[in-house]
Amino acid sequence: MNQGISWAEPWWVNGLIFIPAVVFLVFRRQKLQISRQQLLTAAIFGMAFGFVEASVVVYLRAASGLLPGYMGSLADIVRQAPANYQQLQTLTGVPRSLLTVELIREAATLIMLVTLAALSAAKFKERFAMFLWVFAFWDISYYMGLWSTIRWPGSLMATDVLFLIPVPWISQVWFPCLVSSLTISVVAMITRNPDSPGE
């Protein structure tokens, strides 16, 4: 996938753009019963976890020799990485052993997000919404974490490998950021704080 392509590959990944609209249509009449405290706590978890994920990616790229300047300071990385760093190198430049670890890490990440959602609410619809909510904050925080440490992505048009399960998902950074932003907005709109009956 080159920088000029603006949609995700494989083609079915583009369907993620419909998730916020579907959630809105399904849950708008009977609002979700999630407290503001639950949303705030889950958002904080998602943001912290996103930075942890960004750190893991930085370590993986450094261990693979794909992160120029990593032997120096963060300033050295910032000076060298944006021009040379490409996420697509993950598919060919990371040793097979580390790719196996990366696949397991991705699966563990999804399990952690599902587990948090399961612990956050009693009903399926609230659990599903909490999963989407925390996933969205995790996703945006991941990119913010990468940018704050190695100044990647240099723009929302940078190409990224989103997931490797079951096959590599590739898109420009704007796509997951848009889906996550819309998801956060929709979940916030369709949630009624059960602690405030007058809402």
Q: Where are the domains of the chain?
A: 11-192
Does residue 42 carry a pLDDT above 60?
yes
Q: How far is C-alpha 196 from the geometric centre of its chain's CA atoms? A: 31
What per-residue confidence (pLDDT) applies to 58?
85
What per-residue confidence (pLDDT) applies to 29?
87
Mean pLDDT of 80-104: 71
Tokens of 47: 């943001």
* Rounded Cα–Cα distance for residues 21 and 134 (Å): 17
Mean pLDDT of 8-23: 93
Largest CA distance in the chain: 57
- DSSP per residue over the chain, as a string? --TT--S-BSGGGGGGGGHHHHHHHHHSSS-EE--HHHHHHHHHHHHHHHHHHHHHHHHHHHHTT-STTTTS-HHHHHHHHHHH--GGGHHHHS-HHHHHHHHHHHHHHHHHHHHHHHHH-SSHHHHHHHHHHHHHHHHHHHHHHHHHHH---SSTT-EEEEE-SSS-EEEETHHHHHHHHHHHHHHHHTEE-TT-TT-
What per-residue confidence (pLDDT) applies to 85?
58
Does residue 128 carry a pLDDT above 70?
yes
What per-residue confidence (pLDDT) applies to 47?
97
What per-residue confidence (pLDDT) applies to 80?
65
Mean pLDDT of 171-189: 96
Residue whose pair of structure tokens reads 């907005």 in the numeric block: 185
What per-residue confidence (pLDDT) applies to 1?
41
What per-residue confidence (pLDDT) applies to 154?
85
